[in-house]
Amino acid sequence: MFDKTGPSWGKSGIEQYFILNWDFSSTEPPDQQRSRLVTDFLNLNIIPLKFFKIPETLPDHRSGYRLPTTEEIDVILRPFRSEELRCADKDQRLKDDTQMEEWIETEIFGEEVDWALLDNEEMFNFGPGPDSWSRLYDILPELAGPLLLQPQDASDGERIIKRVPEPSDDILKNIYPLFKRDLAIAKEEDPELWLHDRDSVIESTGMPLQKVSTSTYIIIADKEAFRTSRLLVLYLDGFRRIIRQGRIDEELDDIGSIVGLWMETNDLLEYATLSERYRVDGDLGRKLYQLDEVLADL
């Protein structure tokens, strides 16, 4: 018989955050306190490594991680996440419609299918609207990532993860020389393009910076996807802001190739276009590319 017990309570990052920050003495209604803590969790840039699933062979990386008490499970955790979200009913998956079956080969998700494939219409059909997909973070804030764990040591010795790498971080410092080189080559090869369409140049030369800024990606079957058979792919930074987006060209890609592209190379779809905020003049783009500093060195 299919095991519907689901993961142990307290195993996910948001559940650890709940039990470590819950105030039982607060007069704030529990639903409001949970909602506030979800928002706080999503806005954390510095995240303790203990909030992530770490192999049991590295117990020192889970310092501070603890199992919840029975009271914490009943009062804090169970009302937030239904049993249906904590486990998957395989019989229900047989009822997926034909289009979803054409899109999805569940084997590509492996053991992660229960959380990676959000196909419960009652829970995840958020209706129309270009940003309605973002409501899923209220239900599964862990999806904000990051998918790649790059631990750092905090000043107090605790191991941490940053949702969004800053330009001063070592990982970005190693990329900037390559970015400067590629940008110089692009300017020399097509000065007119740089003069009149800098965004298209940055879209290609700045790809390594955009990749390292990508915390997670989401493939969305929205109304347009069902109309055109072209799923929407969003690449997002750690604060859920879109870096690049585009619709899958079914002649070139499918869900399997998108997943494989990220898992094997951390690459983004080349035909996914830059969002406005990550363009040359966007507030996030100016910070990421540091063009004033880069161009001064060219």
CA pair distance 213, 239, nearest whole angstrom: 10
According to the model, what pLDDT value does residue 40 have? 95
Structural domain containing residue 190: 167-297
Residues facing residue 242 across a β-bridge: 236
In the block, tokens 């995240």 appear at: 47
pLDDT at 275 over 80: yes
Q: Report which listed range, 94-108, 137-151, 202-216, is most confident.
A: 202-216
Boundary of a domain, candidates 89, 112, 144: 144
- Do 138 and 224 belong together in one domain? no
- Do 33 and 83 belong together in one domain? yes
According to the model, what pLDDT value does residue 1 have? 30
pLDDT at 286 over 70: yes
The percent of residues in the chain predicted with pLDDT above 70, rounded, is 81
According to the model, what pLDDT value does residue 108 have? 63
Q: Which residue has the higher pLDDT, 294 or 269?
A: 269
According to the model, what pLDDT value does residue 298 have? 58
In a domain, 130, yes or no: yes
According to the model, what pLDDT value does residue 162 have? 86
Domains contained in the chain, number: 2
Please report the DSSP string for 188-227 in residue order: HH-HHHHHH-HHHHHHHHTHHHHHHH--EEEEE--HHHHH
According to the model, what pLDDT value does residue 102 have? 62
pLDDT band, residue 84 (cuts 50/70/90):
low
According to the model, what pLDDT value does residue 2 have? 34
According to the model, what pLDDT value does residue 59 have? 46
Boundary of a domain, candidates 79, 111, 144: 144
Q: Which residue has the higher pLDDT, 224 or 99?
A: 224
CA pair distance 88, 83, nearest whole angstrom: 9
This prediction has a pTM of 0.77
Please report the DSSP string for 92-155 in residue order: HHTT--HHHHHH--GGGGGGGHHHH----HHHH---SSTTGGGGHHHH-GGGG--SS---EE-T
pLDDT band, residue 10 (cuts 50/70/90):
confident
Boundary of a domain, candidates 112, 144, 176: 144
Mean pLDDT of the residues in the chain: 83
According to the model, what pLDDT value does residue 235 have? 95
pLDDT at 58 over 70: no
- Do 293 and 171 belong together in one domain? yes
In a domain, 149, yes or no: no
pLDDT at 113 over 50: yes
For 153-194, what is each residue's pLDDT tens digit? 888 888 888 888 777 778 888 899 999 999 999 999 999 999
pLDDT at 253 over 60: yes
In a domain, 150, yes or no: no
In a domain, 6, yes or no: no
